[in-house]
Structure 1
């Protein structure tokens, strides 16, 4: 009589026949959910990985912000975008930034795929609380002013030199 546990199926077999699969109890299911939720929550708290930069290139952050232009109030015009840059972005990032236009696609909360023109803002700055606050303000003001559902933010470490 051989009893063994297979590595991949985690079922016990008796004479080559699978035994009944043991059911998890509610407590085991709850523990599994708590463990998964905890690991997801902890991973969300992690900061950007440290980048080893040469002495002459201080560590920074590069951010890409994607601003959709279609909204309930109509399309964000070039002049509206220029004013937004002048009055909202420039005062917060006087050291400079880069902007270009693209065509984007995303899925809204209601599940519909949206196609629209997009303004892309690239910022390179030191990783500190004041710059984090400035980026959050830019995103918040754009969403409020142009009644946008979202602004995509992509952030990653960088080394800079001038």
Structure 2
């Protein structure tokens, strides 16, 4: 009986590790990738200004993703030890084809921001999506 319960528990745990179903888009939609990139503003010599952010969008983002983008200011927070740090940030949303070339462009964009503004990291959330324009 004990081994049966162990086997049942193990099976339940492994079922949670199953791969999700592949994305199924309707005939009027196309499979894309939706990227949410979160950019902090604190840097060693101050903060990234709104003008610097706009310059980054113009110099780095638009040339890589000329089809369009959405960006907005945000207020983020994160934990550093026992402290909660609040920080002005920006969120950038990109929807693009799932190609190796565009994957490299997203990574290059993140590296460009980190280098330009002395950032340790850019948070990336990547999700499969079905896209359509009506």
Task: State whether TM-score is above 0.5.
Answer: yes
Count of residue pairs brought into register by the alignment: 122
Q: Which has the higher helix share?
A: 2
Between 1 and 2, higher relative CO (CA 8 Å, sep ≥ 6) is seen in 2
* Alpha-carbon shift at residue 113 of structure 1 (Å): 3.0
| Structure 1 gap segments, 5+ residues each | 9-42
Separation (CA, whole Å) in 1 of partners of 2:55 and 2:67: 18
Separation (CA, whole Å) in 2 of partners of 1:60 and 1:103: 28
Give the corresponding residue for 1:128. 99
Counterparts of residues 79-158 of structure 1 (less than 5 Å): 79-108=51-80, 112-158=83-129
Max Rg structure? 1
Counterparts of residues 14-25 of structure 1 (less than 5 Å): none
| Structure 2 gap segments, 5+ residues each | 6-16
SS of match in other structure, 1:90: helix
Could you say if the C-alpha distance between residues 117 and 94 of structure 1 is closer, same or farther in structure 2, counting changes exceeding 3 Å?
Answer: same
